[in-house]
Amino acid sequence: MKIKIIFLSFTIFVSVWLFSCNSHILKSYHTKKQVNVSFKNHQENFPTEIDGMLFIKGGWFEMGSHYKSDQEPIHRVFVKPFYLDKFEVTVNDFRRFCVETGHKMPIQPFWNKDDHPVVNVSWYDAQAYAKWCGKRLPTEAEWEFAARGGRNSLHYALNAEHSLVKTHGNVADYSLLNKDSRRIVETGYDDGFPFTSPVGYFPPNIFGIYDMEGNVLEWCNDWYDARYYAQSEIENPKGPAKGNYKVIRGGSWNRSGRYLMPTYRTWYPPQCTFDFLGFRCAMDADKAKEHLKHEPLISGKNIN
Ligand SMILES: [Ca+2]
């Protein structure tokens, strides 16, 4: 009798254990399957370019670096397909928005021409513009993915024919030093533009996106938190739920290119405006077809 009870208990234990394992395996399988399916849904053919934006297929990448503590930890992130403006939003683009909506046009420095990136725009200005043309500001994960050109390199990945030394685009260079002797500039580098340059003047990166490493810094949609990477979502992270500062990415005409990397993060309160700070827009790939039904409002620097 005693042996029977022990045998019965053992059988029950094994059955419960097997059921538990199966459930776990089944759960993992379903989770993976659902993730794959959700990613698969984004493998449809999207137009490569819409309304001045390029299609970025997205995927996994290692976000962050050991360069500064707010870029740590390096963490694996998945970015779903999206579109990103080929060029920074120009003075001309933003003026058109202001004329059509009554939004106040920010005063531009004398040196900022119509085909240069608009500056002196707050995050709220940028947000309003993006909304007006059916777009949005990029997340910083999207921004970094696009700046890396699909690679894990810590340097900007430009076209192969351009050497690393000359790939900084418009940064603080000798031409700026001639205007302001206090500036710290890139040694031996002269890009010819002491202030902003026309958008698209310098070579694009491997995705065909221009000026991510220079010209003006760019607003991102996310709130800034120096510790966010330690708790970031894995799939399409959108930043902290709240904060006091917005993430700024890229480089600018008043910053040396020597320190520039696609992982570089800085921050400003959303109401701030500077003559070295602009933006570009993004859009979910899923919205592309819907967007195609409408006449393009913006076409980058080609607007007259
Ligand atoms: Ca320059």
Task: Quick: pLDDT tens for 181-202.
Answer: 877 776 777 888 999 999 999 8
The pTM of this model reads 0.80
Fold of 33-301: paralog of FGE (formylglycine-generating enzyme) (3.90.1580)
How many whole angstroms separate alpha carbon 7 and alpha carbon 13? Answer: 10
Cα of 255 vs centre of ligand 1, distance in Å, is 9
Contact 220, 261 (CB under 8 A): no
Tell me the longest C-alpha to C-alpha distance in the chain. 99
H helices within 41-181, ranges in order?
91-101, 123-132, 140-148, 174-177
Cα of 145 vs centre of ligand 1, distance in Å, is 25
Structure confidence at residue 177 as a pLDDT band (50, 70, 90): confident
Cα of 170 vs centre of ligand 1, distance in Å, is 4
Helices 91-101 + 123-132 axis angle, to 10 = 70
Cα of 111 vs centre of ligand 1, distance in Å, is 13
Structure confidence at residue 288 as a pLDDT band (50, 70, 90): confident
Q: Is 297 a residue whose pLDDT tops 90? A: no
216 token code pair: 């003006």
Contact 170, 202 (CB under 8 A): yes
Residues in the 5 Å CB sphere of ion ligand 1: 170, 173, 191, 193, 253
Q: Is 55 a residue whose pLDDT tops 90? A: yes
Residue with the larger pLDDT of the pair 181 and 116: 116
Contact 285, 81 (CB under 8 A): yes
| Angle at CA of residue 252, ends 272 and 185, nearest 5° | 125
Domain positions in the chain: 33-301
**DSSP code of 235?**
B
pLDDT digits (tens, 9 = 90+) for 248-267: 999 999 988 766 788 999 99
